[in-house]
Amino acid sequence: MVIQHNIPATNAYRNLTSNRSGLSKNLEKLSSGFRINRAADDAAGLAISEAMRSKINGLDQATANANDAIGLIQTEEGALTETHSMLQRMTTLATQAANGTYNSTSRASIQKEMDELGNEIDRIANNTDYNGIKPLAADSNANSTGLTNGDKLNMTMQIGPTKGEVLDLKGQDMTLKGIFKDLDTVSAKGVSVATGDNPTAFTTGDELTKAETALKKLIDDKKLDKDQAGKDLTNAVKDAATRANVSVGSTFKITMSSAGVVSIQGAGSLFSNATTGATIKNALMDAYDSLDGVQKSKGSTAEGLTDGKEYIQITSSGVQGDDVTANANRVVKNIQSAIDHVSSYRAELGAKQNRLEHTINNLQVTSENTTAAESRIRDTDMAKEMAAYTKNNILSQAAQSMLAQANQSGQGVLSLLQ
């Protein structure tokens, strides 16, 4: 028997310490609900779990971002609903003005309502606001210096937890000027006809280059048939010449190339007369201007307007031969083009919204599944941990009891000393 070292007590104490350490960890996991509370619990599991938590946070915020984007789209859509309604009313008014039962006074009254509707379209576009963003305003495509940069307001929506997961939504100038400016890509200003004998082509210049580029795009997009366009220009000149009692040579012909370049053959002295030549030239300019389906009106104030109202003037310009019915019908055609333009943008917004709704569903499912995966790594299995706690608790109590017994085992030495 020895008393310097009580090996049974030492063994019992070691087991008691181990059991209490396990019991402490059991209590920590049961009270926190996490299986991994520090890297020492599972270093690899902790790294995977933290990466998953980061992704879950990104997914949840991306869901909120997508919902915000839908809010912006719905704000735009609501505004454009009224723009469409007003354009429909303007169609009705223009059609009404085309009727021969209305005199100039009646048409002037109709024009007043047309102008007020145009003002309201501008007001709605310029004041539709979502958190300080005005996606329909006239300056939606202006850069920091206030100059048009060629690109519309580009709103990048972060719809995923990583850099590349974005959706671009471009603003549109939906004022009256913007609606027609974006449509009137070919302008009468972009064509110049020599007034002498045998003009062979339109003269060159920056405006003409832009017009030819626009015509080429219309041809490439199959919105304009170049052969039919050439025939329409030819017929416009012939009709104007007939009304002016001017004969047109059999070789006269206007053609358009696939590059948007318009050429005249066999014009002779068709444009040389100061009076009739100017009338014929104006007819050609009007026909050229209408190739894209949008043409400035010949209303009495149309020439002095630059805010989009030049396309909705139904009153007569007073020019000889100016047909008020034809003028009103031209406005009807212009407004229909504007309706199509607004419809196209609304369709784009609707497509974006539908996409975002699917995006939100996907984000929510991904977040749910990633959370479940993270839970399997990080969370405590309460039933399993409770069983371990019960075991360690019993072992701890048993070890404590055995330590007491081991400490008593040395008392037998005292009987030898008596």
Separation of alpha carbons 86 and 89, rounded Å: 5
Cβ atoms of 61 and 67 within 8 Å: the answer is no
Average predicted confidence (pLDDT) for the chain: 88
Where are the extended beta strands (E) located within 23-76? none
Predicted pLDDT at 147: 41
Separation of alpha carbons 141 and 412, rounded Å: 99
Pick the CATH number of 35-184+301-379 from 1.10.1060.10, 3.30.450.40, 1.20.1330.10, 3.90.1150.10: 1.20.1330.10
Long-range contacts of the stretch 10-19 (C-beta < 8 A, 24+): 11/406, 12/399, 12/402, 12/403, 12/405, 12/406, 13/399, 13/403, 15/395, 15/399, 15/402, 16/396, 16/399, 16/400, 16/403, 19/392, 19/395, 19/396, 19/399
The CA–CA distances, whole Å, from 3 to 156, 389, 407, 410, 418 equal 81, 35, 10, 7, 16
Q: Say whether pLDDT at 365 is over 80.
A: yes
Mean pLDDT of 140-166: 69
CB-CB neighbours of 357 under 10 Å: 13
Predicted pLDDT at 298: 78
Token representation of residue 302: 């149309």
Cβ atoms of 255 and 263 within 8 Å: the answer is yes
In the numeric block, the tokens 């997914």 are attached to 59
Predicted pLDDT at 28: 87
Predicted pLDDT at 386: 93
Q: Which pTM value belongs to this model?
A: 0.80
- Is the backbone of residue 131 left (phi > 0), alpha (psi -120 to 50) or beta? left
Separation of alpha carbons 46 and 64, rounded Å: 27
Q: Say whether pLDDT at 146 is over 50.
A: no
Separation of alpha carbons 324 and 280, rounded Å: 19
β partners of residue 379: 34
Q: What is the tens place of the pLDDT at every residue in 82-97?
A: 999 999 999 999 999 9
Positive or negative: CA dihedral 337, 342, 343, 347: positive
Percentage above 90 pLDDT, the chain: 52
Separation of alpha carbons 302 and 374, rounded Å: 68
Structure letter (DSSP) for residue 265 = E
Of 266 and 124, more confident:
124
The burial class, CB within 10 Å (0-12 / 13-18 / 19+), for 237 is buried
Q: Say whether pLDDT at 315 is over 60.
A: yes
Residue 213: its H or E element:
helix 206-220
Token representation of residue 279: 């009338």
Q: What is the tens place of the pLDDT at every residue in 154-208?
A: 888 999 999 899 999 989 999 999 999 889 989 888 887 776 666 667 777 888 8
In the numeric block, the tokens 């396990």 are attached to 22
Separation of alpha carbons 7 and 12, rounded Å: 9
Separation of alpha carbons 308 and 118, rounded Å: 8
Q: What is the tens place of the pLDDT at every residue in 245-271?
A: 998 988 899 999 999 999 888 888 888
Q: What is the tens place of the pLDDT at every residue in 57-84?
A: 999 999 999 999 999 999 999 999 999 9
Q: What is the tens place of the pLDDT at every residue in 102-121?
A: 888 899 899 999 999 999 99
Residue from 266, 303, 301, 265 nearest 282 by CA: 303
The CA–CA distances, whole Å, from 355 to 3, 65, 211 equal 82, 13, 36
Percentage above 70 pLDDT, the chain: 93
Q: Say whether pLDDT at 371 is over 70.
A: yes
Q: What is the band of 409 on the pLDDT scale with cuts at 50, 70, 90?
A: confident
Q: What is the tens place of the pLDDT at every residue in 44-56?
A: 999 999 999 999 9
Q: Say whether pLDDT at 242 is over 50.
A: yes
Instruction: Give residue limits of the domains in the chain.
Output: 1-33+384-418, 35-184+301-379, 188-293
Q: How many CA atoms lie within 13 A of 26 on its CB side?
A: 19
Least confident piece of the model among 79-93, 307-321, 339-353: 307-321
Q: What is the tens place of the pLDDT at every residue in 219-240?
A: 999 999 999 999 999 999 999 9
Separation of alpha carbons 61 and 156, rounded Å: 15
